[in-house]
Structures are given as C-alpha cells and as structure tokens.
A and B are shown apart, each in its own frame.
Chain A
Amino acid sequence: MNSDTRRRSTQLCLAIPAAFLLVAPTLVVVPMSFTASPLLSFPPTGFSTQWYGRLASDEAWRLATLTSLSVAIQATLLATSVGTLTAFGIARGRFPGKSLVQALVLSPAIVPIVLVAIGTFFAYGRVGLVGTPAGLVLAHGALAVPLVVVTVAASIETMDPRLDLAAASLGAGPFRTFFLVTLPLIRPGVLAGALLAFVTSWDELVVSLFLTTPVLRTLPVEMWTSVREQLDPTVAAASTMLVALSTAGLVIAYVIGLRQARRKS
C-alpha cells in the first residue's frame, strides 16, 4: 500500500513541469489584462477594465475581429467541403498512385509555414490576390484541408461499410444513401474537422502577415503589428477574450458530447 502511494506521488511530481508549461501562459495573461498601468510588467498594478473598453471602441481592433471572423468562416466552409470529399476518395477509393495523392493532399501540414508564407506572397501577388479576403480564404483553406481530411477519413474508416450497402440494397440511390445514411454517421468527424479548420484560420499569423495590408488585417496581424510598436495591455485583454471564447467552445463541445453519449446509452 505504502509503495503504491509513493509511486503515485512520484507520478504526480514528474507531471508537474508539463502542467506548469501548459497552464503558465493563461495564468499570466488574465491578470495582466486588468492592470491599471500602461506597461505590461508583473505584478499588475491597480485594477481597471480600460483595456477592454479600448478593445471595444477602437476601430482597428473591431475591423480586424470582423475580418478574422469572416475569413475563418469562409475558409472553414471551403476546407470542410473539399476535405470531406477528399477523405471519401482516400478512405474508400482505389486507384493507382494513391499514396502519392495522399501525400500531396496532406503536404500543407508538413511544409514549414514560412515557406508557405513567402510562396503564397509570390504566387498570389501575380494574380492580385494579395491584400484581398479571397487570398486569405484560399491560403487558410489549404492549410486546413489536411486536418479535415485526416479527421473525416478516420471516422469513415471506423464506420461500418455494410450500413451503406444496406441502404443501397433497400433501394436508396447513391445520393440518398450519402445524405441520409453516410453523412449523419460521420457527422462528428466532419464537425471536429470543421472546428480544427476554423481555429487554424482564426489563429494563423505567418501567412496572413504576407497577404494582409494596413487596411485589411486579421486579428492576429493586428495584435502582431500593435505589439511591434509597443506591448500594451490591450493585447492581454484581446488574449483574455480569446481564452474565454475557446474555454466556452470547449465546454459547449463537452456538453454536446455528454448529451450525445447519454442519448446513445
């Protein structure tokens, strides 16, 4: 018994460094956003919500948030539809050269992001896509496709293929089978892929730095440029909002998951 408790406490102690590294950023950002001083130093002095006020009233921050939101939604729709189709092709298709095709489709996840950034800058510059929302949507979409393909392909592979056959043998055409049987079955995978795609676009900075202009900035680019000038607590306020949003997202996902699990049992 004694050796068991000792073993468990050793396990806990060894896990502390990782827990610290994971939690540390959030621990410091939230209190900093309520500081009264205009400098980001620790510990924060006084208490004020002025930085949140500035976030809401400042035109540049508001515009950047809207741009980010609209680009992320479009990139998500694009990547999810393209990625889901591709996932079917990869999970169920049979054709020569499949591993090459798979490698190509997944390549955005492997190529260093810096290379993607300068390449998109060169290529999109030629066709006038730099500085347009469309350019951002296409580039972010490409970065998100591999994530969608992998998550959706995984859920297609765990699905029982006989359910499709059953629907077909009962007289459903390929389209009815797809929309009424297959798609509902893989919906969790598609949703997870879409969520990853959204976060990829929402959080993307390096490629966006090359595709944005002073009049068209995404939220990360706005943060980046404002910090290059000076690190002020508005950034901490924006960060806290993002942390709050993502925590809310996680909680919602958890609750939906719980409800589904309960319905199944």
Chain B
Amino acid sequence: MVDAVVVVSGAPSQETGPPEARKSRFNGWAWLVLPGLVFILAVFGWPLGEVVVRSFGGDGAVQNYGVFFDSPIYFRALNSTLITSASVTLSCLLIGYPYAYLMSQSRRTELLLAIVLLPIWTSFLVRTYAWQIWLQDTGVINSTLLRMGVIDEPLSLIRTNLGVVIGMTGILLPFAILPMFTVMRRIDRELVRAAENLGAKPRIAFRRIFVPLSLPGVYSGCLLVFVLALGFYIAPAILGGTSSPTLSTLIIDKVQRELDFHTASALGVTLLLIALVAVAIGSRVVRIRDVFGGGAP
C-alpha cells in the first residue's frame, strides 16, 4: 500500500535540493501537529489514562481482571460481544457488497449514494428507536404477519440477540458500503471486460477479477464495522435482552448502578485491547487512516 503522506512530504524538489535539506528529518510544518496533539492528550488521553489506572486500583488488578474467571456473566458478556460484532460484520458484508457493486455499476449512483448517506445524517438514537418500532411485539413486522395469519404468536425479534444484530446491521451498513464503493468505483471495468473477451464466463470474470480487486474496500469496511460494533451501547440497550448483556452494557451498568468503577475499568480496558488487536490485524492489509476517516465522501 502506497503511503501518500510519505509521498507528499518527500516532494521531488527536496530530493534535488541542497544536501542539508535532504538530510533534515524535521521541517517547520511539523510544529502544527502540536496543538492537536496536546488537545487530544489532555481531553482524551487523560480520561483513558484514568480508566487504565482505575483498572489496577481498588482491590488490585488480579481482582479486577479476575472477574472473567469468577463469574460466568463476564465471560458470557465477552463472548456475546465478540459474537455480536462478528455477526454484524458478516451480515454487513453480505448485504452491503451487492449494493456497493450496484452503486459502482449503475448510472443512478447519486440516488443510491443519497440512500446510503441519509441514515448517516439521521441520529443513531432515532434509527435505533425506529428499529424498535419495526421489531417489537406490536411492531410493523409482527403486526403485519399476525394480520396475514402467517403466525399466531408474535415472533420474539426484540430483546433477543437476533434483534440486536438486525438493528446494528441496519445502523452500521453505510460504514460497510462506503469504503467498498470507494474501492469498486476505481476498478477499471475494462479488466473485467477483457477477461470476458478472452472467454471467461461473466460469473468467473467477476469472481476472479472484480472480487480480488475490491478486497481492500472489503477489509476496510469490515474492520470499521467490527470496531464500531464492539463499543455499541445504544442498540444492545434498546434492542437486546437482559439475559445476555454485552461488555459495553455491563460497563455502563457497573458505573451507573453499582458505582463499581474498578471492575468497569478492567472490562473497559479488555474491550480496548480487543479493538486494538482488531486494528493491528487490519493494519496489515489496509491503511488505518483511510479506514477511520468518517466514511463520508
């Protein structure tokens, strides 16, 4: 992967310039990162530091992090967080890929893009409530099916993991579609056509030429969705059941109801470590700065 930052900062004029300029590892523009760095460290780094410190405080790190072995609740929460994030990522990929493909091929790209962007501009919370309206026992799906006589009892779509996965997939879908679309749009269509001209069936040409070229977008989208899903609190709290809380709902419960800051911090640091591992794995195949750029065009 070409690092554009390096390309720009190593502009050709400097290469041919005087030797001392070529040697210097520092230029005036560098000072401009200082305000941002200080700001982030002060208002963001410090709070994170507080969490890490607290995870070692109280009865000690062994006690705080040991909760995973003490009570099955925590282990189950860890499990359910990972499974939920993985299922949401998978369904975003499977559902989003064909849409992104259509966007990259269609002449109505702008309309299709507006459909993806509109939800981004609508609040997370509003969308989660809307999913509640769709999924609840008296909701759109259940009341329609009941009236049609397909079912006698409302399906339990809400307060279940299925509900959480459906809602989160709907909410995170734009973050999967946009990176895939960005990459697909740049794929030279002539390559696929060339394969077809050389005798490949359309399906083979798609699978052997288009899909591999679209992989960088797939990786970006999946990484973004997975990491965002890990920290989700609103959707599990509204759509999920109380029987299988995720790590994030447990953390907030610990702080707000039980005032158990140390266990909450240890759980928080665990969640952070999972996110960092995902990003570290992801950074082997994509440029992280491209992934977490907010997804908007």
Contacts and interface: CB of A to CB of B under 8 A. Distances in A.
B89 interface: no
Contacts of B248: 112-114
B231 A112 contact: yes
A220 interface: yes
B69 interface: no
A139 B43 contact: yes
B133 A28 contact: yes
Interface in A117-147: 117-124, 138-139, 141-142, 145-147
A192 interface: yes
A145 B292 contact: no
A92 interface: yes
B47 A116 contact: yes
Interface in B41-66: 41, 43-51, 54
A203 B139 contact: no
Interface stretch (B71-79, B111-119, B184-192, B214-222): B111-119
B43 A115 contact: no
- For B117, B268, B279, B294, which residue has the most chain A Cβ atoms within 10 angstroms? B294
Nearest to B126: A239
Contacts of B134: 24-25, 28
Nearest to A25: B130
B275 interface: yes
A15 B118 contact: no
Given A25-B119, A28-B140, A120-B47, A96 B33 contact: no
A114 B251 contact: yes
Interface residues of A, number: 100
B11 A161 contact: yes
B200 interface: no
A112 B250 CA distance: 14
Given A86-B33, A102-B289, A106-B292, A96 B170 contact: no
A238 B122 CA distance: 11
A22 interface: yes
A88 B32 CA distance: 7
Nearest to B238: A227
Given A25-B130, A110-B276, A110-B279, 16 more contacts: A3-B202, A11-B98, A17-B95, A21-B170, A85-B33, A88-B29, A94-B25, A94-B27, A94-B29, A95-B33, A106-B292, A119-B48, A146-B292, A235-B129, A242-B126, A243-B118
23 contacts: A11-B102, A21-B95, A21-B169, A24-B170, A25-B119, A26-B130, A42-B133, A91-B29, A92-B29, A104-B37, A110-B275, A112-B248, A112-B271, A114-B252, A118-B252, A118-B261, A119-B49, A142-B39, A146-B294, A205-B124, A239-B126, A247-B121, A250-B114
